[in-house]
Structures are given as C-alpha cells and as structure tokens.
Amino acid sequence: MDVYASLVDAVGGTPLVRLNRVTGALTAPVYAKLEYVNPGGSVKDRAAVAMIDAAEEAGLLRPGGTVVEGTSGNTGAGLAMVAAQRGYRCVFAIPDKSSAEKIALLRAYGAEVVVCPSGVPREHPDHVHETAARIAAETPGAWHADQYDNPANPLAHYRSTGPEIWRQTAGRVTHLVAGVGTGGTITGTGEYLKEVSGGRVTVVGADPEASVYSGGDGRPYFVESIGHFVHPETVEDLWPSSYHPPVVDRFETIPDRESLLTARRLAREEGLLAGGSAGTAVAAALRVAAGLGPDDLVVVLLPDSGRNYLSKVHDDDWLRRWGFLDADGALPSVGDARIAAVGPHVRPTDTVERALATAHGAAGPVLVTTVALRPDRPVMAPEVIGAVSAERLRAAIASGTARGDDPVAPHAAPALPVVGRGESAAAALAALEEQAAEAAVVLLDGTVHGLVGRSALRTAVG
C-alpha cells in the first residue's frame, strides 16, 4: 500500500475498470476511469490541487488567506479538502439546484456556503459566478479560483489524467469519452492523448441534449455538473476558457432520462455508485462503442460518486416526482388519471391585459413561464415560475392592485405543485391536499406533460 506525506499527494492514480454487464453484446471494450475514488470524491480534486499550487507559487494565495469559488459542489469539495490541509478559509457560492449532499459536504470541511438562485441570467448580481467574484473582491486576502478560466484546470489533466490513461491502457486507447462542464477535464486529457498518439485518439464529448456546447438551446436540464445552460435573459453567452472546443472531435447528446437511468444501471449492474453526469458519459460511451470493434478501446471518465446524489439520482421518489421513472403497476398512478392538456402560457413580462385575454375561457390555470411558447418542444419544469387565472386577474384589477399595462409576474400565484406521471395517484392526491392546491402540473422526463386536478386523482384512486 502506498504511503503519502499528506492527503493531497493521494490525488490521482485512479483505477481503470472494465464495464462488463451494461455493455451487453458490444465487442469493443469499455473501461471506466473511476475519478470518484480521489480523496475528495471527484475528478475535480486534480484541478483543485493544481489551481491552489499555482496560486501559491504566484503569490496570489498566502498563509491565512481565503479560497473563494463558484461551484456546483465538486470543485468546492476539492478546494475545501486542500484548504483544510493547508490552513486556508473557504467561501463557496453554489447554485440552489445542487444536491443537499454536496452542500452538506462543503460545510463538513468547514467551508462557508452561500446558496445562490440558479434561475437568473449570467449578469445578475446573485448569479453564482458574480457572487463568488464579489466575495473575493470584498474579502481581504481572498483568492478567486475561477475554475472556468483558470489555465491550471486543464493543465492538471494534461499532466496527470491523460498520462495515466495512456499508461493504464498501454497506449491502446482509441476513444476518450467525457462530459464537458468547465471543459478542463476533456481539454487537458484529450490534448495529451491526441498528442501522444499522433492524433489517433478520438475525443467524444458527452453532453445533455439541451446544452449549448453540443448545439442545444441552453434550456434547463436535470443532470448536475455538466453541460452549459443559458438563461433566456442572458446578454452574452460566455464560454469558459478552460474549454478548448477543437479538442472535441464530436458530441453524443444524451437526454436526462437516459443519463439518470444509466447512472442507476451502473450501481445495480456494475457495482459502481456514480453520479448523473457519469450516467451521461457512460450512455455516450455505449453509443460510441456500438460502432466499434474488438481492436478499439473506449475510456470513459466517471467524474463523481453517487453518494452525492442519494437524494436525487438514486432515490425512486425523486425520480418519479420529476417524471423520470414509470409507474411500477402495483397501484394506480397519476398517468391513470384524466390529465388535461396545457393551454397557452404567458411570460412574466406580458401585461396583465394580455394574460387576462389568454386566461379567458381557459379550462384551468395558465402557466407563467420564463420561455415563450414554442410548439417544437415542451416546457421544462424549472421554466414554470407561476400561474394565473382570469378570476385572479379580474379581482386584482377590480381592487385597484393591478392595471392592464402592468407586467403580470407580480400578480401571479406561485407555481403549481408538480407530480410525476409515474407517481402514485394516492401520493399525488395527498400532496395536493397537504398544499391546499386544486391542481398540479404533471411531469414526464422533467417536462410539462399536462395538468391534473384533485377530482381526477380521486377517481383514479377509486
């Protein structure tokens, strides 16, 4: 067994494990690089050590200083681990959509955590990156890690992850598959493997369908720590300089359901408890391997552990609530109830007069969404921010609290409760009664599938 002078010396050197069951009849071998066995639990440990080392060498981070970063959790954990070992204070800005486990993990390391709204544009002062930059500027002795634009991020993988894979496969690797978040992992690893192989290694990016990296429209998605989301009010879409697009030869785009269920398959068929972004990467790797033969060798990076997602990816109730698990057939489900179609919806900036015209004659509540009505794709659940009815708007106008030319957002009711199509009808009915709501939004794969009322659920329950 290896012995190290400090914990940070144990970062890297992660194992490569062949996938045997999820690959089925594929003839091309697929090996998973288990980055979650790093001391801090993810691939981000490599970049964390490299960024802090570089900051210390440059005199940007001095004894007693404070490490500040905007993170979805994994980079923060890596930085917090190194900071604890070297005596630095930590402050992290983290989006509210991050799992509770990640937030608890950062606090366990002694870090201060500032939870930021995820549904705001890049330029908003409460955005994760703006919040981190502001804290760093206002805190004496602070250093902003800025993983998205820090050259030490991809360099860490050029110097460690890439050489490890080349050595572990004895130079046989032909395809690298990895997700793209900050872009540091795929950039550094891919650059090294392309260089050492004389361009023989193909680099494939695994990306959520909606991510703009692979040409998506930037709408929300449910897999954490991967892809690139763009709020509809963002003025300028800035890509991280840690990501070098020419390194990626092509993308495989993976829908949320396939990502999440593949992550669960890894645990149940391979004994590999990994996160949702690992599910995205493995789903992409299986697609890549389907077109290859026994002389090829695919390496896929598994970024983090499923222990960070026990309340999400690996929780049946969470998956059913958001529409990613089908009914088990044991009890009547929401899908057995009469589900009403969703009619036109309104934007927060639409006027009360326009919203009233839209709501007039509608069979149920009209949803207020952050995106314009588009017939080519359903509305994602995070895009629904409220609901209005003709009765509510007329009452507001009659009382003088609203005028016809006001924006409708301040006069909307909170968003309706959500229930998954595969959820138990009895559980959904209980949730509506507990929240004193007459109707709920029905979700399928995280998108708005329709509306269901209490009476319809009671009928389904029998």
Q: What is the pLDDT of residue 31?
A: 98
pLDDT tens, 96-137?
988 889 999 999 999 999 999 987 888 999 999 999 999 999
Residues 376 and 421 in one domain: yes
The model's pTM is: 0.93
Residues 178 and 153 in one domain: yes
Q: What is the pLDDT of residue 325?
A: 95
Counted domains in the chain: 2
Q: What is the pLDDT of residue 362?
A: 78
Residues 416 and 299 in one domain: no
Residues 391 and 441 in one domain: yes
pLDDT tens, 26-63?
999 999 999 999 999 999 999 999 999 999 999 999 99
Domain end: 298, 314, 330, which one? 314
Beta bridge partners of 301: 33
Handedness of CA 119, 120, 126, 128 (dihedral sign): positive
Residues 112 and 213 in one domain: yes
Q: Does residue 72 or residue 215 have the better pLDDT?
A: 215
In total, the chain counts a number of residues equal to: 462
Residues 75 and 161 in one domain: yes
Q: What is the pLDDT of residue 399?
A: 93
Domain end: 314, 338, 362, which one? 314
Rounded Cα–Cα distance for residues 311 and 101 (Å): 8
Q: What mean pLDDT comes out for the span 126-152?
A: 96
Rounded Cα–Cα distance for residues 218 and 239 (Å): 12
Q: What is the pLDDT of residue 370?
A: 84
Tracing tokens 């009010």 back to the chain, one arrives at 233
Active site residues: 44
Residues 307 and 351 in one domain: no
Residues 283 and 373 in one domain: no
Residue 375 has pLDDT above 70, yes or no: no
Tracing tokens 């990816």 back to the chain, one arrives at 313
Q: What is the pLDDT of residue 364?
A: 77
Read off the CATH number of the domain in which 130 is found: 3.40.50.1100
Rounded Cα–Cα distance for residues 148 and 125 (Å): 18
Rounded Cα–Cα distance for residues 117 and 96 (Å): 6
On the 0-12 / 13-18 / 19+ scale of CB atoms within 10 A, 414 is: exposed
Instruction: Read off the amino acid at residue 167.
Output: R
Which of 37, 450, 19, 22 has its CA nearest to residue 258? Answer: 22
Instruction: Read off the amino acid at residue 111.
Output: A
pLDDT tens, 409-428?
999 989 999 999 999 999 99
Residue 293 has pLDDT above 90, yes or no: yes
Contact 336, 423 (CB under 8 A): no
Cα of 24 vs its chain's centroid, Å: 27
> Average pLDDT, whole number, for the chain?
94
Residues 291 and 359 in one domain: no
Q: What is the pLDDT of residue 231?
A: 84
Instruction: Read off the amino acid at residue 215.
Output: G
Rounded Cα–Cα distance for residues 148 and 154 (Å): 10
Helices 352-359, 390-399: axis angle to 10 degrees equals 140
Q: What mean pLDDT comes out for the span 345-367?
A: 87
Residues 40 and 70 in one domain: yes
Read off the CATH number of the domain in which 344 is found: 3.10.580.10
Handedness of CA 420, 424, 428, 434 (dihedral sign): negative
First to last CA, the chain: 62
Residues 303 and 330 in one domain: no
Helices 256-265, 276-290: axis angle to 10 degrees equals 90
Domain end: 271, 297, 314, which one? 314
Which of 79, 81, 101 has its CA nearest to residue 224? Answer: 101
Residues 180 and 279 in one domain: yes
Q: What is the pLDDT of residue 1?
A: 61
Domain that holds residue 353: 318-461
Q: What mean pLDDT comes out for the span 319-326?
A: 96
Residue 234 has pLDDT above 90, yes or no: no
Q: What mean pLDDT comes out for the span 239-253?
A: 97
Residue 376 has pLDDT above 80, yes or no: no
Q: What is the pLDDT of residue 164?
A: 98
